[in-house]
């Protein structure tokens, strides 16, 4: 098995760069690039799932917008169905009117 075959574990972990104690200085340029992508993907997943490990400051503007839009849709659906956490202050005026008409 070559070194590149050994770099990434099936679960997305890395024998050289674990979840908490990654020494990026010991990585090759190629390994560092791959680790950066994996770390970004882990952060996006954490943000999507509402985990405390989410670091919004590491999101690109497009990723932040995607997450904001998804949370807005989730909130609207919760308010509309009266199920789950609903924050009425996050609704647009039109959304508020449509919910009031449905009641």
φ/ψ of residue 99, rounded to 5: -70, -40
Indicate the number of domains in the chain: 2
Same domain for 102 and 72, yes or no, is yes
Is 77 found in the same domain as 46? Answer: no
- DSSP for 25-87, written as a single string: GGS-HHHHHHHHHHHHHHHHHHHHTT-TT--GGGS-HHHHHHHHHHHHHHHHHHHHHT-S---
Q: 98 and 64 in one domain?
A: yes
Question: What pLDDT does residue 100 have?
Answer: 86
| Higher pLDDT pick, 18 / 52 | 52
Q: How far apart are CA 57 and CA 34, in angstroms?
A: 20
Answer whether 59's CB lies under 8 Å from 43's CB: yes
Q: Are residues 74 and 53 in the same domain?
A: no
pLDDT of residue 58: 94
Report pLDDT digits (tens) over 41-74.
Answer: 999 999 988 889 999 999 999 999 999 999 999 9
Do 42 and 70 belong together in one domain? no
Residues 67 and 44 placed together within one structural domain of the fold: no
Q: Is the pLDDT of residue 5 over 60?
A: no
Residue 75: partners with Cβ closer than 8 Å, 6 or more residues away: 85, 86, 87, 90, 91
pLDDT of residue 16: 55
* Entry pTM: 0.62
- Using the predicted structure, report yes or no on whether residue 17 has a pLDDT greater than 70: no
Q: What whole-number distance in Å separates Cα of residue 30 and Cα of residue 4? A: 10
> Is the domain of 64 the same as that of 47?
no
Statement to judge: residues 11 and 55 lie in one domain: yes
Expressed as residue numbers, the domain containing 69 is: 60-103
> d(Cα 26, Cα 23) in Å, to the nearest integer?
6
pLDDT of residue 8: 41
Q: Indicate whether 37 and 64 sit together in one domain.
A: no
Read off the pLDDT band of 7 (50, 70, 90).
very low
User: Which pLDDT does position 2 carry in this prediction?
Assistant: 38
Same domain, 20 and 35: yes
């Amino acid at each position: 098995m070559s070194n590149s075959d050994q770099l990434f574990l099936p679960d997305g972990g890395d024998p050289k760069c674990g979840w908490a104690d990654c020494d990026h200085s010991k990585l090759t340029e190629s390994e560092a690039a791959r680790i950066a992508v994996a770390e970004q993907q882990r952060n996006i997943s954490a943000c999507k799932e509402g985990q405390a490990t989410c670091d919004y400051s590491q999101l690109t503007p497009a990723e932040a917008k995607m997450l904001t839009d998804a949370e807005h849709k989730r909130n609207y659906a919760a308010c509309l169905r009266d199920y789950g956490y609903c924050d009425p202050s996050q609704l647009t005026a039109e959304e508020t009117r449509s919910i009031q008409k449905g009641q």
